[in-house]
Amino acid sequence: MLIEMVRYALSPGVAPEEHRQAALETHETAISQLPGFRDRILCPPGIHEEWIDLVIWEDRHAFEHASKSVHTDPKLAKWMGQINESSVVMQVGEVRCVHGTEPPALKHAGCWLGVCWKTLPDVDQDAHLALDKEVHRDIMAKIDGYLGAYTAKDEKSGTWFELVAWRDQAAAHAGSEKAVVDCLAHPVYKRHMEECDEASVSMTFIEPKVVMPVVTKTG
C-alpha cells in the first residue's frame, strides 16, 4: 500500500462548497475508478490552514498512474482547475507496517495524526522500524483513544510518514503528548525518538470532514 497526503489552497474566487461538490463528483466518476484505488478522505481547512486530500493506493504503480491521470483525464479538469498549483505540497510513503488488528479505514477515525520525519545519518532503517513497531505495541496501544496506525516510508527522499488513528481530536492531542512523554521515559524506546532528526519532524492533525463514498468500479 501507499499513502498520499496532499495539502493545498484553493484558487482565488473558488468557494469551499463549490470545491467540495466538484471533489465528490470527480471522485465518483474518475478517481475511485482508477486501478489500485483503496480509500480517501478530504479535509477542508479547520484545525489545519489548508485543504488536505488523503488517499490510500494499492501500491506505487497505482499512485504513479493516478498522478498522470490527474493531468490528462478531462473529467478531472474542473476539480484540478480549482486548486492553486503553487500551494500544493505532497507527501507519499509506501506502507511498511500496519499497527492494530486490521488496517483502519480512513473514515473510521475521528482524527488522524500525520507525522513525518527523517532519521539521523547512519541509523539502521530496519532496526528503526522494528523499534517503531514495539513503541506502537507497548506504548501507543495502551493509550486511551488510540485506534491503530500506518507506518510508511518514501524511499526516494528517505522520509518516514506515519498516519495514526485516534477516536477524536481531544484524544489525538492528549495521546500524542503522552506517547512522547512515555517514550522519553523508557530506557529502550527513547532511542526511537533520539534517532529522529528533530529539524525534520512535522505533525498535522486531520479531521475527516468529507468522507468519499464507496463506489463500485465500472468496466
CA 26 distance to own-chain centroid = 20
Q: How far is the C-alpha of 215 from the C-alpha of 4, rounded, in Å?
A: 19
**Other beta carbons less than 10 A from residue 202's beta carbon:** 12
**Other beta carbons less than 10 A from residue 6's beta carbon:** 17
Strands 210-211 and 37-43: antiparallel
Q: Sorting pLDDT into bands at 50, 70 and 90, what band is 216? A: low
The CATH classification number of 93-206 equals 3.30.70.100
Q: Sorting pLDDT into bands at 50, 70 and 90, what band is 219? A: low
Say if CB 112 and CB 205 are below 8 A apart: yes
Q: Cell 468500479, residue?
A: 217
Give the pLDDT confidence score for residue 34 in this predicted structure.
92
Q: Nearest CA to 89 among 118, 128, 49, 60?
A: 49
At position 76, the amino acid (one-letter code) is L
Q: How far is the C-alpha of 186 from the C-alpha of 175, rounded, in Å?
A: 16
- pLDDT tens per residue across span 132-191: 999 999 999 999 999 999 999 999 999 999 999 999 999 999 999 999 999 999 999 999
Say if CB 104 and CB 165 are below 8 A apart: yes
pTM reported for the whole predicted model = 0.88
Contacting residues for 187 by C-beta, under 8 A, at least 6 apart: none
CATH code 3.30.70.100 region(s) in the chain:
2-92, 93-206
**Can you give the length of the chain in residues?**
219
CATH class of 2-92: alpha beta
- pLDDT tens per residue across span 123-132: 999 999 999 9
- pLDDT tens per residue across span 51-97: 999 999 999 999 999 998 888 888 888 899 999 999 999 999 999 99
Q: Nearest CA to 110 among 206, 39, 42?
A: 206
Say if CB 207 and CB 167 are below 8 A apart: no
